[in-house]
Every structure is written in C-alpha cells, then in structure tokens.
C-alpha cells in the first residue's frame, strides 16, 4: 500500500516550484490562483526570493503547501494514495490531496494559520529545541519537572524529539537533557513555541476559520498528528486539525500506525527529503521516495 506524506515548515528553498510552473499549464493556473487568493505574488518569492525572504511566516507556510499540493495535482492519475499524512503544516496539504479540502480553502486556512501563529509568537518570548539520543519518556519527564512552560512538541523519529516553550524554560530543559545523556540539546532558529500551550491564541483564531470551512469526505484515510491513527470522519478531522496547534506532532507514532495498517511505500510530496529520512528510521526497510513529475 502507498502512503503519501507531506512536509512541514523548514523544507522551503529558493526556487521552489519553478520547475512545476514551467512544466505544466495546470500548475501555472494553480500558482496564479494562489497569487490572487493571497493578495501578493508568492510565486515571485518562491521562484526568485532569497532564503531570508522565504523565512517570513506569511510566505513559508503557504509556499510549502503550494509546492506539495500543486505537485500532487499535476501528478494526475499517478497520484493514487491508499493513505496520507502530513507533518504539522503538511497536514493541510494532505487534506487537499485526499479531497477533504478544496485547493482555495486549504490555501486560505494555511495563510490564516501562518498569520495567527506569527501573532502568537510575538506575545511571549518563546522557542524550540531539538533533543537527540534520549528516550521519549526521559524527555517528557524532564519537561514536566522544569519550571515554566516547556513541552514535547515534535516526536520526529526514535531518538529525535523537539521541545517547545518559553525561552528560559527551554534553555533550562536543554541543560537537564544534556546532563541526562542527550547527545545534543540544541535551540532552533524558529520564531516561537509551535505545538505548545503558547499557541492557544492562534488555536482559538484558527478554530473559527476551520469550523466555517466546508470539509468533504476524504478519498482515503488521513493519519493525523494528534491521534496518529486513520481518520475519515470530517468532524473528527476538523477537531484534530484545531487541536494540532497546541498539541505535539506525533510523527513517529503516525508512521508506525501507517506501517501496521499495510503501508510499504512512503512517497514524500513537496520540497526536500526530510520525511523520507525520518520514515527510514521509524520503519527500517520501508520503501521511501520523492514524488516526481513523469514518474
């Protein structure tokens, strides 16, 4: 069975999507529609902008979403998922790809999400940090024992967990992680504490937008970050998508469940190869590849 997986923030690169635009009339139409919906030329930033230009939150999330969704659309009949999943932001790409969300509605929600998260980041000095080579349970216990707000945010693969919270609490937790034997506990260059309680203002703002957006019955199950298991009920999908902003991304567990449910081939749709590397560590021996035009 084929599982199509969609990357999240951090996968962007200068020039992303230009090959799609030049290779397909359908891609051109979708990109131009996106420019109209967003009210600025995101294609200019994606195709010609610098790495710094692409780091702007209002650009980063829609850009990655566009690259993934446009690629899935132009694959045509070659795109035949038995199941889908997306890492954080990638969950929106996955929901367009499996027919739950329309292209336009998905893009609007992603744009609103990016702006709401940016506003939440500006309310409290906050950050994230990657912790390597420490058991999940140890990371969880150390976060719980650290004063202030610091929580596990991304369960990326065995031995790689990202924590998120207030700057002071994250720094203190990192020292505790190193003392406990972590190979690394490195603060990341991000704008704020994603997937933590500090995103509550963004969750409230996005909840209203999601509730007002029509969701259709998906063509195949999505394995959502919050629950990690197959979901097809649109009400549950909405609920999980709202909860995702303040809850951890359980990518390890999601991939494990996809494999347990029969996935033998994991195909990454979008920029980069980050998810392929994670899948290879979560399910050794699984087939991993990138979706490509003409493939």
State the Cα–Cα distance between residues 54 and 59, nearest whole angstrom: 6
Residue among 68, 72, 88, 196 flagged as catalytic: 88
Contact 251, 227 (CB under 8 A): no
User: Angle between the 200-211 and 103-121 helix axes, to the nearest 10 degrees?
Assistant: 160
**Angle subtended at Cα 126 by Cα 125 and Cα 131, rounded to the nearest 5 degrees:** 150
| Structure-block tokens of residue 245 | 């902003």
Residue among 195, 196, 254, 257 flagged as catalytic: 195
In the annotation, is 50 catalytic?
Answer: no
In the annotation, is 196 catalytic?
Answer: no
Burial class (CB in 10 A: 0-12, 13-18, 19+), 204: middle
Tally of CB atoms within 10 A around 10? 17
239, 130, 247, 155: which is closest to 200 by C-alpha? 247
* End-to-end CA separation in angstroms for the chain: 17
- Cα dihedral 245/247/253/257 (nearest 10): -70
Which sequence positions are flagged as catalytic?
Answer: 88, 195
């Amino acid at each position: 069975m084929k599982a199509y997986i969609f990357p999240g923030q951090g996968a962007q690169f200068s020039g992303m999507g230009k090959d799609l635009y030049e290779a397909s009339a359908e891609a051109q139409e979708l990109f131009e529609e996106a420019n109209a919906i967003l009210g600025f030329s995101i294609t200019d930033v994606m195709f010609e902008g610098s790495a710094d230009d692409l780091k702007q939150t209002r650009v980063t999330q829609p850009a990655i979403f566009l690259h993934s969704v446009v690629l899935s659309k132009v694959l045509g009949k070659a795109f035949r998922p038995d199941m889908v999943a997306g890492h954080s932001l990638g969950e929106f790409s996955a929901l367009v790809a499996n027919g739950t969300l329309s292209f336009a509605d998905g893009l609007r929600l992603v744009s609103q999400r990016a702006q709401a998260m940016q506003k939440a980041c500006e309310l409290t000095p906050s950050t994230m940090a990657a912790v390597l080579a420490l058991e999940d349970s140890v990371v969880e216990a150390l976060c719980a024992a650290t004063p202030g707000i610091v929580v596990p945010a991304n369960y990326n693969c065995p031995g790689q967990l990202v924590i998120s919270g207030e700057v002071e609490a994250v720094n203190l937790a990192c020292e505790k992680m190193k003392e406990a034997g972590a190979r690394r506990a490195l603060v990341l260059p991000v704008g704020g504490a994603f997937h933590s309680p500090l995103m509550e203002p963004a969750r409230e703002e996005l909840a209203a937008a999601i509730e007002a957006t029509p969701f259709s019955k998906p063509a195949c199950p999505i394995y959502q970050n919050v629950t990690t298991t197959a979901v097809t009920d649109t009400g549950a999908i909405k609920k999980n998508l709202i909860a995702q902003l303040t809850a951890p991304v359980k990518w390890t567990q999601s991939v494990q469940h996809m494999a347990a449910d029969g996935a033998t081939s994991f195909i990454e749709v979008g920029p980069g190869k980050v998810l392929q590397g994670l899948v290879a560590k979560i399910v050794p021996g699984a087939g991993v590849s990138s979706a490509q035009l003409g493939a």
